[in-house]
């Protein structure tokens, strides 16, 4: 995958190539080889503080990271095409070339690295529980026999069942908003995912005073930027961009801007480990 800006000469060649193939299929996705000076980035659109669609555009820490990386790769904000990347579809989006890279609370795991590659990590979160303010869950054991909600394709709920609460009744929904509705109505007893995501929801105006974090560090989640399997060239460029973001202070500024209202006690920027 080549994510460099297209020069004037190559833009002409690209235009001719696209014209020649226009009748043979969809050639305007903008992903893959750079797409004529465009870049397609996979994101979440329903995670306050991280990646959320708002009337003013996409907002959140992951969005800020994606914009910074894209700029370092030679793309302005107007060159970015945003594409929703649900948890269960992230590997498929990269495999098919529907996106150039993914910045979407994408935890680096050995299982996922069998299908895709990562740059980073760029953030360290911990798995936790979101519960109703009146409830009290002090450990994973307290979840046994209770209804636990998570999003289809996420590793969070499976981690809880495997390591902490094998008798928890797992409820998997398509999005976090459904889990939040279930938690508010009493249909489920807890929502589990990363504390960074939960903090964003708890800080929303409509949920303030209703929910709280249980305060359990059930796992370490290293967020990486997902790329196509084996693309070491892009991996190196993104790693360099992430390092610069930390070194020039932009990383910490973005964390505080997006998580500050939730009083989220964030970890320092992690060391980059994904190489070659």
Name the CATH topology of 126-220: D-Maltodextrin-Binding Protein; domain 2 (3.40.190)
At the fourth CATH level, the homologous superfamily of domain 39-124+221-262 is Periplasmic binding protein-like II (3.40.190.10)
Joined tokens for residue 18: 């696209």
Query: Tell me: the pLDDT tens digits for 169-196?
Result: 988 888 888 999 999 999 999 999 889 8
pTM, entire model? 0.74
SS3 for 246?
helix
Query: Tell me: the pLDDT tens digits for 192-241?
Result: 988 988 888 887 878 878 888 888 888 899 999 999 999 999 999 999 99
Is residue 45 within 8 Å of 37, Cβ to Cβ?
no
How far is 98 from 77, CA to CA, in rounded Å?
19
Query: Tell me: the pLDDT tens digits for 23-62?
Result: 333 333 343 334 459 999 999 998 888 999 999 999 999 9
pLDDT at 19 over 90: no
Count CA within 13 A, CB hemisphere, residue 265. 4
How far is Cα of residue 18 from the mean position of the Cα atoms in its chain?
32
For 35, residues 6+ apart whose C-beta sits below 8 A from its C-beta are 28, 29
Is residue 48 within 8 Å of 105, Cβ to Cβ?
no
For 115, residues 6+ apart whose C-beta sits below 8 A from its C-beta are 91, 94, 95, 229
Q: Where are the domains of the chain?
A: 39-124+221-262, 126-220
Joined tokens for residue 266: 């964030």
pLDDT at 20 over 60: no
Question: Which of 94-98, 190-194, 212-216, 253-257 is most confident?
Answer: 94-98
> Do 39-124+221-262 and 126-220 fold alike per CATH?
yes
pLDDT for 213: 86
Joined tokens for residue 43: 């994101």
pLDDT for 262: 63
What's the mean per-residue pLDDT of the chain? 85
């Amino acid at each position: 995958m080549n994510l460099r800006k297209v020069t004037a000469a190559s833009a002409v060649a690209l235009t001719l190539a696209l014209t020649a193939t226009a009748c043979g299929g969809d050639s305007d996705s903008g992903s893959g080889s750079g797409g004529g000076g465009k870049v397609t980035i996979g994101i979440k659109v329903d995670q306050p503080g991280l990646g959320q669609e708002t009337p003013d555009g996409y907002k959140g820490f992951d969005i800020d990271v994606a914009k910074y990386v894209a700029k370092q790769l030679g793309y302005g904000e107007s060159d970015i095409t945003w594409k929703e990347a649900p948890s269960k579809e992230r590997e498929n989006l990269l495999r098919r070339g529907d996106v150039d890279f993914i910045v979407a609370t994408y935890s680096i795991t050995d299982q996922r690295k069998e299908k895709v590659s990562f740059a980073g990590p760029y953030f360290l979160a911990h798995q936790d529980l979101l519960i109703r303010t009146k409830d009290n869950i002090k450990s994973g054991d307290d979840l046994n026999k209770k209804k636990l909600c998570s999003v289809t394709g996420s590793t969070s709920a499976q981690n809880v069942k495997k390591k902490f609460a094998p008798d928890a009744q797992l409820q998997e929904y398509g999005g976090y908003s459904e889990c939040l509705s279930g938690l508010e109505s009493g249909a489920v007893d807890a929502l589990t995912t990363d504390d960074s995501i939960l903090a964003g929801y708890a800080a929303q105006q409509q949920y303030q005073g209703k929910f709280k974090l249980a305060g359990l560090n059930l796992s370490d989640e290293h967020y990486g930027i997902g790329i196509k399997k084996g693309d070491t060239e892009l991996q190196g460029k993104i790693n360099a961009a992430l390092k610069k973001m930390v070194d020039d202070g932009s990383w910490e500024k973005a964390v505080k801007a997006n998580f500050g209202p939730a009083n989220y006690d964030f970890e320092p920027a992690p060391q980059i480990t994904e190489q070659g």
